[in-house]
Structure 1
């Protein structure tokens, strides 16, 4: 075997080994990032149980700020907050503003 062929094989082997190592590192990173995502979801679920209807209240705030604070353009998200508040029997700090918003709704 020539020296060039021998070097080619050792280089080829080291490249293959290197690519395997890189793949292993990536999959390990992938597993860690998925674990972090799962943990974040669990934490958000815990927070939601502590503060029911927070997500809906934030959606209203985003809608109002996007629409120059005109509630008539945000009835859908206001009704979603109302439904959430009914579901949790108004046992949330975020439900206090619903009645004021609903008074503005035309019949």
Structure 2
């Protein structure tokens, strides 16, 4: 198994990926560049598992809503930190499946440009 990550990936993250048995390839300054490189060897005999844009992943993220509903907790909104959308899609889907489609979702994304500026 090969996992492609951008240069910004921490050593800890790369180490954890390796612990799962994957070979880590570092390519490019951004996720998009690493993803483009990851797609190059894909052919009819190769599986490409997208890191966030896949219903299988959304289903995994969605289980947290099921857990809250099973626990009987009442809530007025769901607040998420989002990046590429997988968590958001999963939460929205599972709210709807639990009859909670009217619960607002508040999503916020970090601005990496601000995080990297000196103080």
Structure with greater strand percent: 2
Structure with greater helix percent: 1
TM normalised by structure 1 equals: 0.29
TM normalised by structure 2 equals: 0.27
Q: Which has the larger radius of gyration?
A: 1
